[in-house]
Structure 1
């Protein structure tokens, strides 16, 4: 049993590095009296729109709402089908069900863990209205192929970019390629707040205006309600702090990439599957994911030796109890099931020291030499 403890993510270390800037803007917000919506939210929306290269950014309460309000604004409802991946956080499918539509799951690529675009067209029916690709772990999906499918079949593409801010596909920022993109600012994300927060980005003027109405109970102006909406506003405090952090996101992401490449180099001789990034893409490694047939044993070994790790995700969505009525049998989406049984996240964050990363690498290596090789 080791006395050393290496977290999967160290949010305290990041906070210490920008504490003075955060304290300053928090004080400004508190002194302003503008706590809901207002100039701090508008300023952050403008920053995100410019960063992503889009016309509009609409702040909402969280990443789940970013997806939910977008589906609602696009008119998705009962009887519609939405194609997505089963290897993702539950919210991606949950919002489809919440608007009354049905999720249709397509299996993933075994190398990137993203939805296998080559299998999407076979899942399209006359009820299909949209596709939600998830840029899982910050790895960009094959967007050109998806957009061609969308044009051919008159479908919406809603990018679930909740794990992927700053990632790029052929030099375009993820989130800017579909009809809309959804971001999460949950504290553990690459651009994380100090509570919940979310954002929708789009180039569609009409969609953006409808989203702005939906997030404030369907009202415009206040107390005059055009739609049944939501209470889904981004707090001024979160927006102000996130605006401080946004200017660091590229350097933080680049640090993640450097550390991921170091892992790749040091772990490549072991019998594990390492992350795959396709050409013309920039992955931002929200998580550093490896895959092994000895996942559970490795997890236990890492814990005993002070290395935190995590399983994302232990049950694919098509095998969740709530979706049993969709009749996806065991083995129906084999790559998603294999990923859920074999993947593991290793510690990765910008402030991870080379000494701690070497300790993680040595611990993983020792496991395989002791237990397997």
Structure 2
């Protein structure tokens, strides 16, 4: 069996360092925030080319606090995309604002900047692009539109640790950048975790307050806040992994390049990142008809493929109240019906990549016959 993701292989590589780091936190009893979280924040801020990082308990919390810190609230609108995990939309609703969707570009699969201005109303306060699968959205036109209309830009970089756009790191271009450290992410905790990065000290200070019950000092609550603090153990785990994030990223990019070579003559839709971007391949997705049948046959053949994401947010039952229906965002809907995620992780061997592609090609030939 070739799994979609192999977290055990990663753990085996760094087991002694991880175990020692966790034990240090247990012995110190600094279980919430503390020095390991502080150290991680400093390292991750530098990694993202940002001045400040505030670690929180999940990527969803990061999005929620970024919106609140930016002053987004009831009656406001936030422009985003439906081709994402539901947390992006949920966080906007948590803030009291309304998500306004635009479609994605059919080549990059990220927010189509050409559609943004038509979605702006007097209530629009922010743009929230999603860096899908590890590829950054087209940030220059997004930022130009935002600055012209005096809108905040919050990057959903949950899948894009270390990704770059024209030499600039994910999270460093907008006013705020939000990351998830869910275990399966390129930089994953051993549980939930997230972070917000920013170059604006006032936003960083507000996030510090909001994540810790609004406390300026113990029992001195100056704003109504939340219990969104990162655990000390997660900070320690992530600190260890910071030593490896670049080598793991290069390994992912090598796996993706091998897929590209083997699929070069295939009619399957493949990721095509612009030359100015550094794709970090949290997901390597291909597009094909009869996706669901192909997925079933791959599983039967021992290939652990998956789907990110089979139903766009605007068609999810939980968000029916937003008033959208089939056909509203045709590119998003077409991609959701065709995307198939192939196994990708740093430890995946070239022979395994070849086996995945060979199995996929056999299945598609059978289906075409």
Displacement after TM superposition at 1:52 (Å) = 0.9
Cα deviation 1:211-243 (Å, max 9, x = unaligned): 000011111111111111100111111101101
Displacement after TM superposition at 1:327 (Å) = 2.4
1:219-230 equivalent positions in 2, closer than 5 A: 219-230=215-226
1:344 aligns with 2:340: yes
In structure 1, which of residues 139, 162, 184 is the aligned counterpart of residue 180 of structure 2? Answer: 184
Cα deviation 1:312-357 (Å, max 9, x = unaligned): 1111111112332332221110000001111010000000112211
1:307 aligns with 2:298: no
In structure 2, which of residues 3, 17, 23 is the aligned counterpart of residue 7 of structure 1? Answer: 3
In structure 1, which of residues 215, 239, 245 is the aligned counterpart of residue 241 of structure 2? Answer: 245
1:332-371 equivalent positions in 2, closer than 5 A: 332-371=328-367
Displacement after TM superposition at 1:271 (Å) = 2.1
1:91 aligns with 2:84: no
Give the unaligned 5+ runs of structure 1: none
- Please give the TM-score of this superposition, normalised by the length of structure 1: 0.97
In structure 2, which of residues 106, 111, 130 is the aligned counterpart of residue 134 of structure 1? Answer: 130
Contact 1:274/1:290, CA 8 A, preserved across alignment: yes
In structure 1, which of residues 186, 192, 209 is the aligned counterpart of residue 205 of structure 2? Answer: 209
Aligned length: 369
- Please give the TM-score of this superposition, normalised by the length of structure 2: 0.98
2:161 is aligned to 165
1:325 aligns with 2:312: no
Contact 1:268/1:274, CA 8 A, preserved across alignment: no
Contact 1:270/1:368, CA 8 A, preserved across alignment: no
SS in 2 for 1:276: coil
SS in 2 for 1:110: coil
SS in 2 for 1:178: coil
2:285 is aligned to 289
Give the unaligned 5+ runs of structure 2: none
1:124 is aligned to 120
Aligned Cα root-mean-square deviation (Å): 0.9
Distance 1:178 1:247 in 2: 26
Contact 1:63/1:185, CA 8 A, preserved across alignment: yes
Distance 1:195 1:325 in 2: 32
1:143 aligns with 2:143: no
Cα deviation 1:46-65 (Å, max 9, x = unaligned): 00011111110001001000
2:42 is aligned to 46
Distance 1:325 1:28 in 2: 48
Superposed structure 1 runs of 4+ greater than 6 Å apart = none
Cα deviation 1:154-178 (Å, max 9, x = unaligned): 0000000000001001111110100
1:37 aligns with 2:41: no
Distance 2:325 2:344 in 1: 35
Distance 1:368 1:26 in 2: 46
Contact 1:311/1:345, CA 8 A, preserved across alignment: yes
Distance 1:46 1:78 in 2: 33
1:55 aligns with 2:47: no
Distance 1:331 1:268 in 2: 31
SS in 1 for 2:125: strand
SS in 1 for 2:215: coil
Contact 2:209/2:215, CA 8 A, preserved across alignment: yes
Displacement after TM superposition at 1:195 (Å) = 0.3
Displacement after TM superposition at 1:89 (Å) = 0.2
